[in-house]
Amino acid sequence: MANSNIQPAIKSYFFGKGYRDLGNTIKDSWFMNWDSAGNYWKKTVKFWNEGGLYMLGAVATAFAALSVVVFGTAWFLILSAIHIVILAIFFSLIYISFSFLWLIERIYMFFRGIFVVCPFCHEKYDLPYYLCPNCKIVHTRLIPSSYGILKRTCQCGHELPTAFFNGRNKFEARCPIPRCSRTIETQETKPICIPVIGGPSVGKTCVLFAATHDLIETTAPKYSWKIRFLNQQNEDIYERVLQNFNQGVVPAKTVELTPVAFNFFVGSSRWSPEKIVYLYDSAGESFQNSDDLVSHKFYGYLHGFLFIIDPFSIPELLYEYESNLKLYGTQIKPSDLMLEDCFDTMLINLEKNHKIRRDQQINKPCAFVINKIDAFDLKYRIGESAAKSLMIKDPKIKSMEEAVNRLCEELFMEWELGNFLRKLKHKFKTYRFFTCSALGHLPDNTKQPFQPYRVTEPLMWLLGQADKDMRVKKIETV
Ligand SMILES: Nc1nc2c(ncn2[C@@H]2O[C@H](COP(=O)(O)OP(=O)(O)OP(=O)(O)O)[C@@H](O)[C@H]2O)c(=O)[nH]1
Ligand SMILES: [Mg+2]
Ligand SMILES: [Zn+2]
Ligand SMILES: [Zn+2]
């Protein structure tokens, strides 16, 4: 139950000291009663022993002792009962108030999709540990409770708010998982968790940073969104990659098989609270074996999949561009994990570790993003110009996104990926194909800045699918 944990704080009077006071009052008045009756009795014995007229006094004091016992006890019982009733009323009122407040808070958080996930160990929980800002002691359950409804007093005397809406989440927090215990700065905000999936060298890291950059610099200002990084560390990583991007230098290969989330807050409207985006970018090698995905616990609570496809990991295309790749292969770095193998590993992981049955459809959106379309003539085959031609041919296609999606589906059939297409259609209720170039041109040592092409679209689509506040009408930039 909500109030069962012992906390380093002072209990509300009606849950702690109130009982001790009640016990002491009952004990004191009971003994006073008996003392008084005992005194009368002693006098009775004394008068009786003295004999004669004193014996009349003895009768009077005996009556006095008896009435103290009878009326005193009755009076004592009545007063004690009144005391207990008053205490019980206050106890119940407070109990009901904090349970009600706690329940309201949980219901609000549930409907708002708010929960806390650790960017490091990826465990999900409803409340982190909070530290008292004064003495740094850990409050494991800083919630409305017998320690206080809206506020509690820490054992050091410092007052702490106990509810989500009165400032609790401004305090320093820690992951409650004992093995992790890292500082959590994500606050109690709705998370939007999106793993970036794909084999080694498909361009996951390039897409992640190019999309974030485009989101911050172009898309967010267009829709008046406010974006801020979770912390300096995230901002530093971003700045470093961006500096390299501006000099035409590609990011280093990702080595972590279990990623730390890359986080930023998004305020998409003045009327709705900020959300926190979690992007997970691991080494592509983790998709070679589903055992390496066990630690990717975010597959249990994610909001969407960002599946990056290297066109050169499609056998048909690899064959088609073989001679060109001999010349430019080192710059394009074709992924050596076949597209279907990567997809299968992801599905096996969902089946083995996240209870998704083999025949079950996944109701989270998946963006399939064909990257590296700056290479050779791919831009003309699956980029904007090809999509525009398709729109002219088929006026029923209303948007560029729809056209690109159709184009990719048609080409997948041509590229002998019909089986893969059937599998993904069967598995995902909501999916869409995108084409992009995270770099905009071959990384050719010319120091020319990279110019990402249509790289934010998949991220924006996923964000819009995950939260209706982030659904924007039109994001075309043509
Ligand atoms: N031409 C071209 N090459 C790209 C593009 N994106 C990535 N590459 C190439 O692919 C290489 C790998 O890109 P990364 O983003 O590091 O790939 P990754 O999927 O993160 O790879 P791992 O970290 O090994 O899993 C880059 O160094 C580039 O050579 C692109 O848009 N166009
Ligand atoms: Mg990488
Ligand atoms: Zn953790
Ligand atoms: Zn304290």
Question: Bridge-partner residues for 266, per DSSP?
Answer: 227, 275
Q: Do 107 and 145 belong to one domain?
A: no
* pLDDT at residue 330, rounded to an integer: 79
- Find the 73 Cα to ligand 3 centroid distance in Å: 60
Q: What spacing in Å lies between the alpha carbon of 199 and ligand 2's midpoint? A: 9
Domain count within the chain = 3
Residue 349 has a pLDDT of: 96
Judged by DSSP in three states, 455 sits in coil
The reply to whether 433 falls in a domain is yes
User: Whose alpha carbon is nearest atom 9 of ligand 1?
Assistant: 332
**397 near 391, Cβ under 8 Å?**
yes
Identify the pLDDT of residue 260: 97
d(CA 367, CA 118): 24
State the DSSP H helix or E strand holding residue 324, giving kind and residue range, or none if neither: helix 322-332
Of the candidates 465, 388, 466, 455, the residue with the CA atom closest to the CA atom of residue 219: 455
Task: Give Cα 429 distance to the centre of its chain.
Answer: 24
Do residue 23 and residue 130 come from a single domain?
no
Same domain, 135 and 203: no
- Helices 232-246, 204-214: axis angle to 10 degrees equals 100
Instruction: Give the position, in ligand 1's atom list, of the atom nearest the Cα of 453.
Output: 31
In a domain, 210, yes or no: yes
Q: Are 264 and 393 in a shared domain?
A: yes
Q: Whose CA is nearest to atom 21 of ligand 1?
A: 201
Asked whether the CA dihedral 161, 163, 165, 168 is positive or negative, the reply is positive
Q: 362, 429 in Cβ contact below 8 A?
A: yes
The confidence score (pLDDT) of residue 388 equals 93
Nearest-atom number in ligand 1 for the CA of 375 is 1
Euclidean distance between CA atoms 386 and 404, whole angstroms: 8
Which residue's CA lies nearest to atom 14 of ligand 1?
203
Is the residue at 275 inside a domain?
yes
Q: Is the residue at 4 inside a domain?
A: no
Q: How far is the CA of 221 from the centre of ligand 2 (A)?
A: 28
Q: Rounded to whole angstroms, how far apart are CA atoms 91 and 12?
A: 9
State the DSSP H helix or E strand holding residue 87, giving kind and residue range, or none if neither.
helix 73-111
Q: Is residue 475 part of a domain?
A: no
User: Is residue 438 lining ligand 1, measured as CB closer than 6 Å?
Assistant: yes
3-state DSSP call for residue 84? helix
**Element (DSSP H or E) covering residue 279:** strand 275-281
Element of type H or E holding 370: strand 366-370
Rounded distance from Cα 209 to ligand 1 centre (Å) = 11
Q: What is the pLDDT of residue 421?
A: 96
Listed residues 111, 135, 170: the one ending a domain: 111
Residues facing 197 on adjacent strands: 307
Q: Are residues 194 and 77 in the same domain?
A: no
Q: Give pLDDT, residue 474.
A: 65
Domain CATH number, residue 429: 3.40.50.300
The rounded distance, in Å, linking the Cα atoms of 124 and 127 is 9
Tell me which residue has its CA closest to atom 28 in ligand 1: 332
Distance CA(136)–CA(141), nearest Å, equals 14
Rg (CA), the chain: 35
Alpha-carbon span 75 to 282, nearest angstrom = 75
Are 152 and 251 within one domain?
no
Q: Strands 262-267 and 183-184, how do they pair?
A: unpaired
Instruction: Report how far ligand 1's centroid is from the alpha carbon of 104 (Å).
Output: 47
What pLDDT sits at residue 449? 95
Q: Greatest CA span in the chain, whole angstroms?
A: 136
283 lines ligand 1 (CB under 6 A): yes
- Whether 7 maps to a domain, the answer reads no
Do residues 208 and 262 make contact, with C-beta atoms less than 8 angstroms apart? yes
Q: 228 pairs with which residues across the strands?
A: 265
Instruction: Please give all residues whose CB falls under 5 A of ion ligand 4, grouped by chain where several chains appear.
Output: 132, 134-135, 154, 156, 158
Residues 146 and 278 in one domain: no
Q: For residue 22, is it within any domain?
A: yes
pTM of the predicted model as reported, rounded to 2 decimal places: 0.89
Q: Which of 111, 145, 160 represents a domain boundary (last residue)?
A: 111
**Is residue 222 a part of any domain in this protein?**
yes
Between CA 376 and CA 384, with CA 378 as vertex, the angle to 5 degrees is: 135
Tokens linked to 319: 């064959």
Q: For residue 281, which atom of ligand 1 is closest to its CA?
A: 20
- How far is residue 243's CA from residue 215's CA, in Å, rounded to a whole number? 17
Q: What residues does the ion ligand 2 have nearby, CB within 5 Å?
A: 204-205, 254
Q: Is 125 helix (H, G, I), strand (E, B) or coil?
A: strand
Which residues form the domain of 86?
17-111
For ligand 1, say whether the CB of 332 is within 6 Å of any of its atoms: yes
280 and 149 together in one domain = no
Instruction: Tell me which ligand sits closest to the C-alpha of residue 440.
Output: 1
Q: Do 362 and 464 share a domain, yes or no?
A: yes
Question: Do 233 and 308 have their domain in common?
Answer: yes
Kindly give the confidence (pLDDT) of every residue in the chain, 478 residues in length, as a single tens digit, with 9 standing for 90 and above. Answer: 344 479 999 998 878 777 788 888 888 888 888 899 999 999 999 999 988 888 888 999 999 989 988 998 898 899 889 988 998 898 899 899 999 999 999 999 999 999 999 999 999 998 999 999 999 999 999 999 999 999 999 999 999 999 988 889 889 999 999 989 999 998 899 999 999 999 999 999 999 999 999 999 999 999 999 999 999 999 999 999 999 999 999 999 999 999 999 999 999 988 889 999 999 999 999 999 999 999 999 999 999 999 999 999 999 998 899 888 887 767 888 898 999 999 999 999 999 999 999 999 999 999 999 999 999 999 999 999 999 999 999 999 989 999 999 999 999 999 999 999 999 999 999 999 999 999 999 888 888 999 999 999 999 999 999 999 999 876 444 4
Of ligand 1's atoms, which has the minimum distance to the CA of residue 371?
31
Choose which residue among 327, 328, 333, 441 to substitute to test ligand 1 binding: the one with the highest number of ligand atoms within 8 A of its C-beta: 333
Q: Is 188 in contact with 114 (CB distance < 8 Å)?
A: yes
Domain boundary among 95, 111, 127: 111
Q: Is there a single domain that holds both residue 135 and residue 204?
A: no
Ligand nearest the Cα of residue 370 is 1
pLDDT at 284: 97
* pLDDT one-digit tens code per residue, 274-285: 999 999 999 999
DSSP per position, 28-70:
HHHHHHHHHHHHHHHHHHHHHHH-TTHHHHHHHHHHHHHHIII
Tell me, yes or no, whether 165 and 288 share the same domain.
no
Taking the centre of ligand 3 as the mean of its atom positions, its distance from the CA of residue 113, in whole angstroms, is 20
Alpha-helix runs per DSSP H in 338-399? 339-353, 378-382, 384-393
Cβ neighbours of residue 64 closer than 8 Å, sequence gap 6 or more: 40
Ligand 4 centroid to residue 20 C-alpha, Å: 25
